[in-house]
Amino acid sequence: MWIKLAFKLFAREFRRGELSIIFAAIALAVLTVFSLSSVTQRIGLNIEQKTSDFIAADRRLSSNHPIEPHILAKGAEFGLETAKMLFFDSMLFANEELILGSIKAVSPEYPLRGEVTLKDNLNGVPYEVRGGPKKGNVWLSEGLFYSLGLKVGDQVELGAGNFTVSKVLVNEPDAPFFSLAGNRRVLLSYDDIAATQAVQPGSRVFHRLLFAGQEQQLSDYYAWLKPQLKANQSWQGIKDRQSPLGNNLARAERFLLLAGLFGIMLAAVAMAVSAKRYCERQYDPVAMMKTLGGSRQVIRNIYLLHLSLVTGFSILVGLLLGFVLQHIGAAYLAKFMGTDLPVAGVRPWLLSVFIGIVCALMFSLKPLLDLFDIPPLRVLRRSLGDKLALSRIHIGLSLLTIFLLMWMFSEQLLTTLILFGSTLLVIAVLFGISRLVFSAGRKLGLSPGSSWSLAIATLQKRANANAVQLISFALAIKLMLFLVVLKNDMISDWQTQVPADAPNMFLINIGQSEVQPLDDFFEQNSITHEAFFPVFNARVDAVNGEELARRISRQEGEEKADSEREGVNREPNLTWLTELPEGNEITQGKWFDNNSQSDRIEVSVFDGWQERLDLELGDEISFLVNEQRFDAVVTSFRSVDWGTLKPNFVMILSPNMAGKVPVTYFSAAKLDNSHTKAISSLLQRYPTISMIDIKSRLEQAQSIIAQVSLAIGFVLAIVLISGALVLVSQVQASLAERMQEVVILRTLGARGRLIKLATLYEFLLLGAIAGLVAALVSDVTLLVIQQQLFDVDGKMHPYVWVLGPAVGAGFVALIGYFMVSNTMRQNTQGLLRKLG
């Protein structure tokens, strides 16, 4: 019998809109989690796939010692695709010209991700292929064709072997962003290594294994591999690679994660408030039912069935809306990206259903228990049971649930703690402020009958309810502001990293006499360019008289720093500079004194090398340039941001090095198609200058950043909608109380204008206070988050302090005013009856 009654009550409550807020809150939580997790997962998978291209694999294992064959074989056993590579330098000889080439020998499976770009001849159209050269063939980069006077089909000697030059190598997926050896690249079949006889015991070579496969297979394999990794072997994925892309990707992921957390938090706030509100509204019916003989058991069954029905129904609707939303979003993104997004899998479904159920249970548990405890005596003593509404257990349980949900979703304790802590701070500050403001208004002595005094009086009267409302408003505004500012900061940071006018062409091998004409050429053609860096190769021979080779083998940790790219480079490119380059920071010692008259040559060393070579300030490094030897004293160590697209140097010498060694110069310029003709005539005039085109790589990086920005924009929009819904649901939830006040005021003869203005001012005040606190707290939290999670220097955003209160006041007042105006349109008698 109770089931029939329960369904009837449910249908009526639902139709009356009593359950709409709780329904909307659960649906919102499910929708937010589903759409965010599936869109971010789909975008993430796509980006990961795309960015895997950048290392030509999903993971790679690198070492400057041979890697045991069973390591590769085991990869295949785990179901992974594998490929092997070997890097070494060797002389190329053709047409009486001899040049040192940078050789990459690859097995036929290379590349596992991405494509190799080739041209059939120097003037051909570039196209993409999967795979490397066939046995007996080599692919050479354009620079080598010019240097050796080759054309496709010619023979070239590489080490002891003879090979046919079959293609022009334009680009490889895993080519470094910036490498001075960029124009001397050779791609060779792995099977031809022996034929070159260039790799002998003791040769400087660099080994790399590539792996690709499902994430689970990769992690299973890594679990097997990890215990046997040697100090000189390093395991990397795209995110480990220090590049603008890797860093930005990691930041974008963290942003999406944060946005997801905020979505959950907003939905949770809406759920906690609406569950409590719904239960409070059921106090009278429950008291009545108990009075009329309804047993506790029956009442419990009725309301638990209501909860199950509303939860099930709202989860279904949330999933449906979420599915449609993510489908539209993904379709739009796919169109923009020009590629289909991978399917997200079951995680978003399971996660969102689980979160929906947890939200429904945890946030309504305490209010429901309170509801079951409502004494029947309430039918006579109307206020009985009201004190239950301010349950600390409910607040505690809700906070705990929010914390656990955030932790579960993010799997990051620190992020969760920072966000949760800042949220508690908002709550604490707002409670203080609401007490202060609501009691201060009393002392202002505003004239009775004015809209302002009525607004203040209303605020004071409902101090507790307002504090709750204020907190919800502030949380929603805080989260929205936080994401907007973070998004702006992040995207502007990226734009700084890869600015629109970033150089897309490196010019190397510029002779001393060619600097001025080249500078003039840039000037005449209005080409923006970097300064001319003097560059020379020197062999690091010894430190404090001890031979470098011995010193390195003494070191246990032979792990290769990413910055060194391929292999141990004991012949780094050196330069001298007067100013510390952008993206570098002195970590120890002092930068060169440009006014120094001393003859002593100083060197500033990348701090990654400090440990590696066991260097200390004051150590003397001996360099060999050809047969010429010079010593330099280490006077500083620098951290280097290898993520920038600017040239970076491991060692920088003091400016007094000028004139002591023969150098070439290096520069970078931003060129477009209109410069092609002029450039080719320039190169004809100065044939020794080599150009490295990084346009395609730059465009690739910019395109991925654009995709990530778009994804963030999409996610932000969802969170903003969630935030707006929280605000709407809050105002809606307080309508019943407002209705009562409107009735009283109108019965007492208050003019409609007075009531409307009072409502407007009340919401303006609430919104402005909430907005101000939200702005302050979000800015402080942002500072912490940026430093702790995003590894960037945080900064304050004064505009947010104005934006917060303004948006808060405007938004809250607008929603509140319209909703209350709607109430006002009904006549007093109608309202009275509605109040029952």
Q: Which amino acid is at 133?
A: P
Q: How far apart are CA 513 and CA 536, in angstroms?
A: 16
Among residues 327, 590, 751, 833, the one that binds another protein under rule CB under 8 A: 833
Instruction: Please state the closest distance from residue 310 (CB atom) to another protein, in A.
Output: 14
CA distance 41 to 23: 26
Per CB under 8 A, does 377 bind another protein?
A: yes
Whichever of 313 and 354 has its CB closer to another protein, that residue is 313
Q: Does 296 bind another protein (CB under 8 A)?
A: yes
Q: Counting contacts by CB under 8 A, is residue 387 touching another protein?
A: no
* Distance in angstroms (rounded) separating the CA atoms of residues 420 and 405: 11
In angstroms, the Cα distances linking 479 to 419, 444, 792, 807 are 10, 33, 20, 13
Q: Which stretch binds another protein (CB under 8 A): 2-10, 47-55, 262-270, 543-551?
A: 2-10
Residue 382 touching another protein (CB under 8 A): yes
**Smallest distance from the beta carbon of 301 to another protein, in angstroms?**
11
Q: Select the span of 138-146, 378-386, 623-631, 678-686 touching another protein (CB under 8 A).
A: 378-386
Nearest CB to another protein, comparing residues 14 and 686: 14
Q: What single-letter amino acid sits at 715?
A: V
List 289, 437, 640, 727, residue binding another protein (CB under 8 A): 289
CB of 750 vs another protein, minimal distance in Å: 23
CB of 285 to another protein, least distance (A): 5
Q: Residue 16 interacts with another protein (CB under 8 A)?
A: yes
d(CA 601, CA 587): 20
Residue spans of beta strands (DSSP E) within 176-267? 185-189, 205-212, 233-237
Q: What's the closest the beta carbon of residue 425 comes to another protein, in angstroms? A: 34
Q: How far is the CB of 245 from another protein (least distance, A)?
A: 58
Task: In angstroms, give the least distance from the CB of 1 to another protein.
Answer: 4
Residue 833 CB, shortest distance to another protein, in Å, is: 4
Do 702 and 498 contact (CB within 8 A), yes or no?
Answer: yes
Does residue 216 touch another protein according to CB under 8 A? no
Q: Note whether 284 binds another protein by CB under 8 A.
A: yes
Beta-carbon contacts of residue 711 (< 8 Å; ≥ 6 apart): 39, 40, 43, 47, 252, 256, 333
Tell whether residue 298 is a contact of another protein (CB under 8 A). yes
Q: Which of 59, 60, 119, 290 binds another protein (CB under 8 A)?
A: 290
Interaction of residue 827 with another protein, rule CB under 8 A: no
171-179, 286-294, 422-430, 698-706 -> range binding another protein (CB under 8 A): 286-294
Nearer to another protein, 160 or 377 (CB): 377
Q: Does 312 bind another protein (CB under 8 A)?
A: no
Give the tokens for residue 719. Answer: 């969170």
Choose the stretch contacting another protein; rule: CB under 8 A; options: 12-20, 104-112, 176-184, 238-246.
12-20
What SS3 string covers 87-146? Answer: EEEEEEEECCEEEEEEEEEECCCCCCCCCEEEECCCCCCCEEECCCCCCCEEEEEHHHHH
> Is residue 37 a contact partner of residue 333, using CB atoms and an 8 Å limit?
no
Give every CB contact of residue 127 below 8 A, 6+ residues apart in sequence: 117, 118, 119
> Residue from 331, 380, 400, 436 that binds another protein (CB under 8 A)?
380
Q: Least distance from C-beta 328 to another protein, angstroms?
A: 36
Q: Tell me the C-alpha to C-alpha distance, in Å, between residue 536 and each of 26, 132, 177.
A: 65, 32, 20
Q: Is 5 in the site for another protein (CB under 8 A)?
A: yes
* Separation of alpha carbons 296 and 502, rounded Å: 72
State in angstroms the smallest separation of the CB of 733 from another protein: 17
The binder of another protein chosen from 342, 375, 511, 583 (CB under 8 A)? 375
Q: Are 760 and 814 in contact (CB under 8 A)?
A: no
Among 164, 232, 291, 588, binds another protein (CB under 8 A): 291
Instruction: Give the Cα-Cα-Cα angle 440, 443, 448 (nearest 5 degrees).
Output: 115
Instruction: Specify the residue, 15 or 335, whose C-beta has the smaller distance to another protein.
Output: 15
- 605: nearest Cα among 553, 679, 540, 532: 540
* 435 touches another protein by CB under 8 A: no
Specify the residue, 8 or 685, whose C-beta has the smaller distance to another protein.
Answer: 8
Q: Is 285 in the site for another protein (CB under 8 A)?
A: yes
Burial class from Cβ neighbours inside 10 Å (0-12, 13-18, 19+) for residue 28 reads buried
- 2 forms part of the interface with another protein (CB under 8 A): yes
For strands 546-547 and 539-543, give the pairing: antiparallel
Whether the Cβ atoms of residue 318 and residue 264 lie closer than 8 Å to each other:
no
Name the residue nearer to another protein (CB basis): 262 or 283: 283
Q: Which of 197, 228, 295, 688 binds another protein (CB under 8 A)?
A: 295
Stretch that binds another protein, among 107-115, 377-385, 634-642, 800-808 (CB under 8 A): 377-385
The token pair at 137 is: 């063939």
Single out the segment in contact with another protein by CB under 8 A; choices: 4-12, 66-74, 462-470, 665-673: 4-12
Q: Which two tokens stand for residue 715?
A: 């996610």
**From CA 45, how far away is CA 347, in angstroms rounded?**
13
Question: Which parts of this chain interact with another protein (CB under 8 A)?
Answer: 1-2, 4-5, 8-9, 12-13, 16, 18, 284-285, 288-298, 375-377, 379-382, 833-834, 836
